[in-house]
Amino acid sequence: MIIVLKPECTKEQLQSFKDQLTSDYGVKVNIWEGVHSTVLGLIGDTTAIDIDYIKAQDIVDEVRRVQEPYKKANRKFHPENTVIELSNGLKIGDGSLTIMAGPCSVESSEQICEIARDVKASGAQILRGGAFKPRTSPYAFQGLKAEGLDLLKEARKETGLPIVTEIMRVSHIDMFENVDIIQVGARNMQNFELLKELGKTKKPILLKRGLSSTIEELLMSAEYIMAGGNDNVILCERGIRTFETYTRNTLDLSAVPVLKSLSHLPVVVDPSHGTGKSSLVESMSMAAVAAGADGLIIEVHNNPKKALSDGAQSLTPKQFDHVAKSVFGLKNYLNSQANK
């Protein structure tokens, strides 16, 4: 951590501040005196230093971290890729491409089972589906809730596909015991109480980037889960909010190589929410794979026109089949090139 002091800082203030930093945080402080300003360099573990505390000092002009504020999610301290293994042996982040597919909302036994069979036939390895739905309007369909979870498990039983579904509340964690991957949605990425509790489980967590969250904040939220003892975190880029209104969100695909370089965690991309338009899902899926994503999470509905939520961005099973073939083909091509 580098601290630039204001020009008016006196020698006494400087000494006193240095002593305080040393005693409060156990860091070593180097002083470099320039013409216009003095700069302090802090050596040691600065992760726990509250940058706001430093900024609030009268004599401080600016503070800059050199170290990233996350440790467990940091590739520097964990160079190998994290590979997450589900109970059926499926691995995420091992160099293969994982596709999670299914409807935005679980609606009925017929619907979820039919979609599950379809997406499995197309090569999807995981079934997604919302039981508890975060909706902007209190008057919109909120999901089938516990019944939705049961229907997902039914579809899993029938097809063997592991399931991923979103949690919205700490008190539901027990109910999600038998879910294979628990999803934390974009709106809950900084629901720190939920993250802390999920950190106490051993469940794989699919952590979606918040609509206006920086890459560093996403990693800090992963760090919350990991600090609690759960290392099974999958990061998900799903579009950020910008001034552009043609697409629902702006899919930030550069986040994929950035996250892969800063962290060892697997990264998946959600082109459905990322664009909000089914017509863009294929091209953005291809781009995500080419950018190095470990997986995709795609909305598929047997009858998007009748979908109770997010129909506009859902693919039909037939469309999904085409996308799946394309992306698996691309992944094979890319892997064959890498192995040359």
By CB under 8 A, what part of segment 235-274 binds a second copy? 240-247, 250-258, 261, 274
Angle between helices 215-227 and 255-262 (to 10 degrees): 40
Report d(CA 306, CA 308) in Å as an integer.
Answer: 6
Q: Binder to a second copy among 163, 284, 296, 323 (CB under 8 A)?
A: 284
* Binding characters for a second copy, 204-233, by CB under 8 A (x = yes): ------xxx-xxxx--x--xx--xx-----
Site for a second copy in 291-310 (CB under 8 A): 291-292, 304-310
Angle 284-87-70 from CA coordinates, rounded to 5° = 60
Interaction between residue 77 and a second copy (CB under 8 A): no
- Residue given tokens 């880029």 in the structure block: 237
| 3-state SS class at 135 | coil
Out of 10, 11, 23, 36, the residue judged to bind a second copy by CB under 8 A: 36
Binding status of residue 330 toward a second copy by CB under 8 A: yes
Total residues at interface with a second copy (CB under 8 A): 108
- Contact between 44 and a second copy (CB under 8 A)? yes
Neighbouring residues of 215: CB distance < 8 A, sequence distance ≥ 6: 209, 255, 258, 259, 262
Cα gap 214→62, rounded to integer Å? 21
99 binds a second copy (CB under 8 A): no
Token reading at 199: 């950190």
Comparing CA positions, the residue from 124, 125, 119, 75 lying closest to residue 266 is 75
Rounded distance between C-alpha atoms, residue 268 and residue 92, angstroms:
9
Which residue from 206, 267, 280, 300 is in contact with a second copy, where contact means CB under 8 A? Answer: 280
Nearest distance in Å: CB 88, a second copy: 30
Per-residue binding letters, 132-151, with a second copy (x by CB under 8 A) = --xxxxxxxx----------
262's CB contacts (< 8 A; 6+ apart) are: 68, 73, 74, 75, 215, 219
Q: Supply the minimum distance, in Å, between the C-beta of residue 92 and a second copy.
A: 19
The window from 83-91, 128-136, 151-159, 175-183 that contacts a second copy (CB under 8 A) reads 128-136
Should residue 9 be labelled a site residue for a second copy when binding is judged by CB under 8 A? no
Q: Is 22 in the site for a second copy (CB under 8 A)?
A: no
d(CA 230, CA 71): 14
